[in-house]
Amino acid sequence: MWASEKALETADKAWRDGSPKRAARLYTELLQKLPKAYEPFRSLIIMRLARTHFHVGDKAQCLIALKRLDKLEYVPEHHALAAGELKAIIAGKGHPGHQKTAIPSIGKPVATINVNATTSLNDAVILARLARKKVGSGVIEIVLEPGVYLQRETVKLTAIDAGLVIRSRDPKKPAILTGGVVLKKWTKAAGAHAKAQLPTAVRDKVLTCDLKAHGSGQIGKLIFGGFSSRRTKSFGANFGTLRIPELFYKARPQTMARWPNEKLNKLPINANPAKPDPRFAKWAREKDLWLYGYWYWDWADAYEKVASIDKAGKITLAPPTNRYGFRRNMGCAINALCELDRPGEWYLDTAGGRIYYLPPANFDPSQCILSSFGEIIDAENCPGLQLRDIKIQYVRGNTLVFKNCSELTLVGLDIQNCSGMGMYILGGKRHLLHSCTIKSMGRGGINISSGNWQKLQPGNSTIENCRISDLSRIDRTYTPALLIQGMGFRVRHNAFVDIPSSAIRLETCGSLIELNYFNRCVHESGDQGAIDMWANPLYRGNIIRWNDFDRIVNESGGHYGAAGVRHDDFISGFMVCENVFRKGSKHGFGSVQFNKGTDNYVEGNIIIDWHKAFTGHTGRGKTWRSRITTHGNSKRVLTETDWKSKVWREKYPMVRDLLNGDDNHNYLVDNQRFGTGSWGGVSGGVTFANKDGAKDFHGETLKSVKSALPPWRPIPLDLIGPYDASDE
């Protein structure tokens, strides 16, 4: 242990032992003789000093200590944030980080359009536009009575609808907007092909439904995509949503007939199988057979259309096939009538416009729904739009799309059982997403862009108190719960649960990710983190603090496992501080993973039962410069961004050394590790004041972690996760 680290430990012990004033003297002495090599930790010691003064109630000395930060060439963003919060508390404003974002009032409407389920939302918008012509400016609201509103057509909103409010009359009995059609009429499966293909054991139990007779609209061809598929781009989606219809029974998605029924299996793509399998002969007779799987990488899924299967069982695929090729070939058959063998499985015959379904016992057709229509709302250049307290269900494709709609307010939305994304918010500023639920989606949750990180223009958008879970039912990789792009986001008090891939994909500068709960994320995809970033060394000033990463474990056996936070390919300048990492992956990545980035701080975290606390490496020397300037994405952003300008270097001083790999470091500082596992390591990482805790402490509950917090790390554990907005 170096002398400066020993001196800090002595001061910390004095505070722990109940002598914060003595600790303050020791911190002051340490600052006076801190060696140059420890300059990156000067602001940490200043914050210790300030907090000791604050702890004993000496506000004046606390402010004097904080003034020391003004003399530093660079103050890490998490220290600057904490210093500002201390100043606010001393000024009597309360702790800014502990405040909840208020839901703004609607205001007094100048016109109200009352609607019940016999009137479409499209007709209500027409009435609202007529009212606008009469009353001019002011709030116009569409008030939805309780009921189920079948949305056969997308509601298109434009600039003439600016300031429109669409809400349920009774938040406790919200209106339901649906794209789903109830399938009431079923008969026994018939026809020679069906009889020949259906498994003998269930042949007399399978039911069929004529979709045209139910007004389900145009089904069209069955087209799947996936992250590595080339097919999505050929349909204009570019890894976007393909409008897949889905069958639901009692509000649960039913499984398209498949084999194997649960896990994936090695499949003979473009090669003869090791031994003949009689099921391939039946597969060869299928009319619309697809394969789903991880064909080359364990982080890139794709659907493939079967063109033919020969007598030996060799599978030939229809072009275009996935962009990586075939190596792993771990997959399953999808939409195979011959594999319809378990209750709840179904098969879609697009040519015949029929569904075949093996229903569960005591089947009630009134609770069988096919997602048939969508999107619900598509708004463009419509500022001040508000949606409040509405349920949206059974949409085929994406649910809500907003383009360049500043001051968008989405409160109390409940979006479930849709086959695409929960919502796209593309462009605009000052969005508020508050107390929304997104659950059981075919793809991801929220894709939002606000502000411009390249021009250092914050969007000042907030996502707070939302619950997002059970995603990526159809496209399972790179479909995060939250994809944020731009600058200046606040993501607070949310819960991200049961996400096969990443929960948050960060493509921003200057964003704050705090007080969120992550549970069972990255449980399927390999080479990912619950919070994930990739290949842009200019994403600077992002703070990830006060989050609970609970059981982030890759369950598919992928080589890299799963990280709580992953900095991939040159990610630099992130602050990962005062988080709790509990019971994580047992192989591969540590709780925090690095891949060639620099200037990252990992500080003050509690790490419990993670096989390694930190893993990866820092980009160093000539290799760093060569890689960062030739890698496709990093080369592009460095070329397209004026990061050498005065305004960029004043905002993010450390970019001045970006191409000088000799000065690159990642800082692993003042963390505590408990339970099983080891510290691991990061090549090019600088460690300082990390401590081992009790091996028999396992942090079973977040509340139990309180006993592990040192006095200079006041993590507000009680505030982590969503809250009841009705109490606010």
> What's residue 622's pLDDT?
86
Sequence-distant (6+) residues with CB within 8 A of 119 are none
User: Six-digit token pair at 307?
Assistant: 């063109």
The token pair that represents 421 in the structure block:
């994304």
**Token pair recorded at residue 711:** 């006095």
* Ranges under pLDDT 50 in the chain: none
* Predicted pLDDT at 234: 57
Is 177:199 a contact under the CB 8 Å cutoff?
A: no
What pLDDT score was predicted for residue 1?
53
- Asked if residues 250 and 312 have their Cβ atoms less than 8 Å apart, the reply is no
CB 62 within 8 A of CB 30: no
For residue 153, cis peptide bond before it (omega within 30 degrees of 0)? no
Across the beta sheet with 207-210, the strand order is 187-188, 207-210, 354-357, 345-349, 255-256
Query: How far from 496 is each of 158, 409, 673, CA to CA, in Å?
Result: 32, 21, 24
Identify the pLDDT of residue 236.
53
The verdict on whether omega for the bond into residue 716 sits within 30 degrees of 0, i.e. cis, is no
- Report the SS3 class of residue 725: helix
Give the pLDDT confidence of 443-479 residue by residue, as tens digits: 999 999 999 999 999 999 999 999 999 999 999 999 9
Buried b (16+ CB within 10 A) or exposed e, 501-529: bbbbbbbbbbbbbbbbbbbbbbbbbbbbb
Q: How many residues does the chain have?
A: 728
**pLDDT of amino acid 220:** 86
CATH top-level class of 3-98: mainly alpha
Question: Structure tokens of 363?
Answer: 């089947």
Write a three-state SS string for 269-335: ECCCCCCCCCHHHHHCCCCCCEEEEECCCCCCCEEEEEEEECCCCCEEECCCCCCCCCCCCEEEEEC
- Per domain, the residue ranges of the chain are 3-98, 182-369, 497-726
User: Do residues 647 and 453 lie in contact, with contact meaning Cβ atoms separated by under 8 Å?
Assistant: no
Which two tokens mark 17?
Answer: 């032992």
Q: Is 674 left (phi over 0), alpha (psi -120 to 50) or beta?
A: beta
Distances (CA, A) of 187 to 9, 212, 358, 369: 76, 14, 12, 16
Cα separation of the two ends of the chain: 48
CB count in 10 Å sphere of residue 215: 10
Alpha helices in 567-719 (DSSP H): 621-628, 632-640, 646-651
pLDDT digit string (tens) for 378-387? 999 999 999 9
Q: Under a CB-based contact definition with an 8 Å cutoff, are residues 243 and 397 in contact? A: yes
The continuous run of DSSP H or E covering 545 comes out as strand 542-545
Task: Give the contacts of 493 (CB within 8 A, at least 6 positions apart).
Answer: 100, 464, 465, 515, 516, 719, 720, 721, 722, 723
* Contact criterion met (CB below 8 Å) for 423 and 395: no
In angstroms, the Cα distances linking 427 to 103, 406, 408, 458 are 21, 8, 11, 12
- 109, 158, 105: which is closest to 131 by C-alpha? 109
pLDDT at 239: 67
Helical H segments across 91-135, by residue range: 121-135
- pLDDT at residue number 604: 98
Q: Give the other-Cβ count within 10 Å of 235's Cβ.
A: 13
